[in-house]
A and B are shown apart, each in its own frame.
Chain A
């Protein structure tokens, strides 16, 4: 009888420690999860930064595209009169500044789009009234 009681106590002790260990590990997990957003946020935040990074080659290519778009705008009768700012990132050209007419605005897009190496054009040119 004493043996049975001892065994029962032992089993209870093992079960109890297992449950405790389970709870402890579960707490640990909770903690990790609680920190998860911060931890997950970091890579998430750095993810776009990583894709936003430019290789040296891309930077040179973008500089070349910018120069070519500027040359195109200067060579054109409609757009040469304006100070149009040109920036390029990974082949996407951003035009900014101001022009006098919608025609000049759309002409600038058309010209930029026609330059070799240009993947996309974002036109932020303002039309002055």
Chain B
């Protein structure tokens, strides 16, 4: 038994967490303030930690407890705090203006992507009755929304947030679909390291340019 049934208490809770996480992703997509991005991302990570805890409790798996605690500590607290300190405050970022589409267009596109993810995850793939059948489309939608954030926003910090949203989507899918996946903690740790490195790169390049903005709209030297 690898996945919870949709009607069990834990299944409902997991489903709820998934829906709220998707809402956080939409909130990120619809926001224009760097501070808000981090708030929504932090909230999403807390929800992911709760979802992870629910699955861990249900299956009694130690490594999922580890993952839940790691998620809470690193993604829920560590990354938002570090990004706030190093990026938002040091580089004095406030409003994100480097958006290639309007906000409403971006949201409508996000809705279309969500519908698309329900289309892709067809019933043949997942048996109905499992909570995975409800949550996997949500996590796919989250991955696609994260990619959309990376595409429509040209600011490096916003792209970083997009990447982090993708990662949260992947882990929500992982804990619902394959709770027994052996490498889940290691994968989590490695992706967190990547996030840390990315924050450092943005920070260093921001300082190196002696600019308040490290916008990738200006990163036009390398083309083609």
* A and B interact: no
Q: Which residues of A contact B (CB under 8 A)?
A: none
